[in-house]
Structure 1
Amino acid sequence: MDTNEKQTDTKPLGALLAAAVSRAVPVVAGIEDKALDARTPCADYDVKALVNHLVHVVVEFQKLAVKQDSDFSSTPDYVAEGGWRERFAREAEALVEAWSAPGVEEGTSGSLGMPARLVGSMALLDVTVHAWDLARATGAEYAADPAVVGELLAAVERLAPTGREMGAFGAAVPVDPHADPFERMLAGTGRDPYGA
C-alpha cells in the first residue's frame, strides 16, 4: 500500500495532466453558446469569461513548462475569435506534451521562480477545478481522476495561503467528515462542493 501511495505521489505531471485534460475537453466541447452568460462557482466569472481564462491558462502554462515567462496581465477573448472549443482541445493537448518533456519538472519555472513541479501542479489545478466549475455551471457530468486529486490535495495545501492572499482561492469551506478527497480539495480552494 505504501508503494502505491509513493507511486501516486511521484506520477509524472505529463501523465496527470493527460488524465485531467481527457476529462476537461468533453466538458468544454459540450458548452452551448446559450450557456456562455451562465454563472459559475467562480464569483468573478460567467461561463464565457471562465472559458477565456481556461484557454489562456493552457496557453501560458506551455511557456512555463519550457522555462519561459508567462503573461496573465490580460486575457484575450478566445470565445469571440470563434473555434474556442477546438482551440481549447488543441492547446490542452499541447500543454500535456509540454509538461511531458524530459527534465520538465526540474529547476524553477519562468519569472514565478517556483519549483517547476509546483508550477505544473498549478496548471493541473486550474484544468481540474475549472472543468468542475464549468460542468457545475452547465449541468455537465464531471468526475476528477483519483490520481490527479491525490496530487492536488497536497498542492492546494501548499498554495492556499498565497492563493488566498492573491484572491485566487476563497476561504476554505467546511465539508462533511466523510467528504471524499475531491470534495476536500474543492473546499480547500474555497468552493462549496455541495452548492448549486
Structure 2
Amino acid sequence: MTSTSAPTDPRPLLERAVAQVAALIEAVPAERLGGPTPCAEFDVRALLGHLVTGLQDGAQLGETGAVERSKVPTDVADDGWGRAYGAARARMTAAWADDATLERPVTVEWGTFPGAVFLTSGMVLESVTHAWDLSQALGHPLPLDQELAELALGWAQRFLPADRRGDEVPFGPVRPAPEGADAYTRLAAWLGREVA
C-alpha cells in the first residue's frame, strides 16, 4: 500500500499509529522526561502532553466536527503518561467508531475536510511523526512500523509540499536525508527535522 490518497477507512492505520506511540510511552523512564527531542519546542514531557492533547482534540472533532483546543495536561504523574494517553486513545476510538464520522466534515485551523482525510493527514501523520521524535529521544527502544512511515511520507509530501512552509504551517524547510535512509528519517527530514 503506497498510495498517497486517503484510505476509505483510515481507522485501522490510526490504531496502528497510536498503538506504536503507546508502546513508546510505556518505554519512557522517568529520568528521561526532561530530555530533549528532535522537535525543538518539546522536551519529552512536553511531547507526551502534546500527544495526549492531540488525541483529546481529535476525539472532540469526531464527537462534534469542531474543536476548542484542549489544555495540555499539567497534572500527570511521571509514571502516569501511559494511562493518560490510554484514556485519550479510548475517547478517540469511541468518537470515530461510527462510520458516518468518516464522511462528516470537520473544521480545523487549516481547513474543512471529510473526517477520513483529517484522520489520515492529521492524526495518523502526527502520530507517526511524533513516534519518530519520541523514539529518537529515547535511543530507539522499539522497532518502528516502516509501512506507516511510507504512507505518512506520501501524505506529507501531498499535503505539506516543500514550498508551503512558514507562516501558519508549523514546519521548517525540507532538510536532506542521508542516502538509503529509512522512511521515518525521510519523513522527519521532509517535515524539517535535522536528521544527520
TM-score range, shorter chain: 0.7 to 0.9
1:79 maps to amino acid: V
Structure 1 length-normalised TM:
0.81
Which residue of 8, 11, 18 corresponds with 2:15? 18
Alignment partner of 1:31 is 2:39:
no
- Measured against aligned partners, the alpha-carbon deviations of 1:76-108 in whole angstroms (never above 9, x if no partner) come to 315359722212023224323433431222142
Deviates further, 101-110 or 137-146: 137-146
Counterparts in 2 of 1:119-134, with a 5 A limit?
A: 119-121=118-120, 122-134=122-134
Counterparts in 2 of 1:158-173, with a 5 A limit?
A: 158-160=159-161, 164-166=166-168, 168-173=170-175
- Measured against aligned partners, the alpha-carbon deviations of 1:145-189 in whole angstroms (never above 9, x if no partner) come to 344224312321213565643252121111234333332222111
CA distance in 1: counterparts of 2:58 and 2:30, whole angstroms: 26
1:148 maps to amino acid: L
Change (3 A) 1:40 1:55: same
CA distance in 1: counterparts of 2:93 and 2:172, whole angstroms: 28
Counterparts in 2 of 1:100-179, with a 5 A limit?
A: 100-112=97-109, 113-115=111-113, 116-121=115-120, 122-157=122-157, 158-160=159-161, 164-166=166-168, 168-179=170-181
CA contact (8 A) 2:132 2:188 kept: no
Deviates further, 40-49 or 141-150: 141-150
The alignment yields a C-alpha RMSD, in angstroms, of 2.8
Show structure 2 runs of 5+ residues with no match. Answer: none
1:184 maps to amino acid: R
Change (3 A) 1:43 1:30: same
Structure 2 length-normalised TM:
0.81
- Measured against aligned partners, the alpha-carbon deviations of 1:13-66 in whole angstroms (never above 9, x if no partner) come to 110011112211111112122111101111111111111111100111011123
Deviates further, 122-131 or 103-112: 103-112
Q: CA deviation at 1:133?
A: 1.1
Aligned residues: 191
Deviates further, 180-189 or 74-83: 74-83
Which residue of 174, 182, 185 corresponds with 2:184? 182
Deviates further, 99-108 or 17-26: 99-108
Percent identical pairs in the alignment equals 25
2:152 maps to amino acid: L
Q: Residue 133 of structure 1 aligns to a residue in which SS?
A: helix
What residue in structure 2 maps to residue 53 of structure 1? 50
2:160 maps to amino acid: L
